[in-house]
Amino acid sequence: MAGSAPAADSTGNIFFLVGNGDFDTTLNASHFPANGNCGNCFVKLATSGKITLADYFTPLNTVAESNADQDLGSGGAIALPDVKDSNGTTRHLAVGAGKDAIIYVVDRDAMGKFNASADQIYQEINNQLASGVFSMPAYFNGAVYYGAVGDSMKAFPVVSAKLAATPSSQTASTFGYPGTTPSISANGAANAIAWAVENGGTAVLHAYDATNLATEFYNSNQAANSRDQFSGNKFITPLIANGKVFVGTPNSVAVFGLLP
């Protein structure tokens, strides 16, 4: 998952994406892989007592994806806060994407398992990410933020417990390999900033208006005399604390904040 941590819910279930590997298309009576091989899966592990595979999802073309190294496991997953659908039903959702550039939204209570005819999943969003995902999405104030490889960072609102089919806003700049994992800072729901690191020989820290990613407030190439520049590094997530932004480099931590 490109260094991303697993997600977890309030009852201790753990959710993550698994890389390409064996998947048993023959299922047992409970619709789990007959021999216990669950490669290329969006996984739910129960941790109460013995750790067990509680549920999973894998796409109908899972074997072909694994054989082509188009696995889910290149990207991270997040669990969303509880949301209500159009019928007023509370939904417990998780979101993840990998090399096939499809955003998978699973119902954490019924993830969909495997069906050779059609994916039995809560929601799939196709053709909105330019390439594969080697990063983790962020969630803030009713929107999911994605930064795929070679793509803009995009915001997908969550409306009536569904991810919007198209982004509500996106950045003008794009992010080469491995894309970007955004972080959001805000004062409650106000003054929200989406921070993202663009990898390269000289990396770039970007700050965008989280409510409209087309508006860039700052980037670390703007200052004269290369004052704010730092070396690139893969799979880096900006950390915001005490009014400062911390970014890992290959051999140091770069700290950004307001000047006196």
pLDDT at res. 226: 86
- Walk across the sheet containing 42-46 and list its strands: 7-8, 14-17, 42-46, 52-57
pLDDT tens digit sequence for 125-183: 999 999 999 999 999 999 999 999 999 999 999 999 999 999 999 999 999 999 999 99
Round to whole Å and give the CA distance between 185 and 241: 9
User: What would the DSSP string read from start to end of 50-85?
Assistant: S-EEEEEE--TTHHHHHHTT--GGGS-EEEPPPEE-
Which tokens sit at 92? 């417990």
Burial group, residue 122, by CB count within 10 angstroms (0-12, 13-18, 19+): buried
The pTM (predicted TM-score) of the whole model is: 0.95
pLDDT at res. 175: 97
CB-facing half-sphere around the CA of 191: CA atoms within 13 A? 4
pLDDT band at 25 (very low <50, low <70, confident <90, very high): very high
pLDDT at res. 49: 86
- Under 8 Å between Cβ of 73 and 19: yes
Round to whole Å and give the CA distance between 120 and 111: 8
What 3-state class would DSSP assign to 226? helix
Q: Are strands 151-159 and 143-147 parallel, antiparallel or unpaired?
A: antiparallel
Nearest to 236 by CA among 204, 197, 205: 197
Contacts of 153 (CB under 8 A, 6+ apart): 145, 146, 147, 170, 171, 175, 180, 182, 194, 196, 208, 213
- Under 8 Å between Cβ of 86 and 147: no
pLDDT (average), residues 237-258: 95
Hey, what amino acid is at 49?
G
Neighbouring C-beta atoms of residue 219, cutoff 10 Å: 16
| 7 DSSP 8-state letter | E
Judge whether residue 31 has pLDDT over 90.
yes
Q: Where are the domains of the chain?
A: 7-256
pLDDT tens digit sequence for 84-136: 999 999 999 999 999 999 999 999 999 999 999 999 999 999 999 999 999 99
Annotate 169-202 with b (16+ C-beta within 10 A) or e (fewer).
bbbebbbeebbbbbbbbeeeeeebbbbbbbbeee
Judge whether residue 224 has pLDDT over 90.
no
pLDDT tens digit sequence for 36-85: 999 999 999 999 889 999 999 999 999 999 999 998 999 999 999 999 99
pLDDT (average), residues 177-198: 96
Architecture of domain 7-256: 7 Propeller (2.130)
What region, left, alpha or beta, does residue 142 occupy, with left being phi > 0 and alpha being psi -120 to 50 degrees? Answer: left
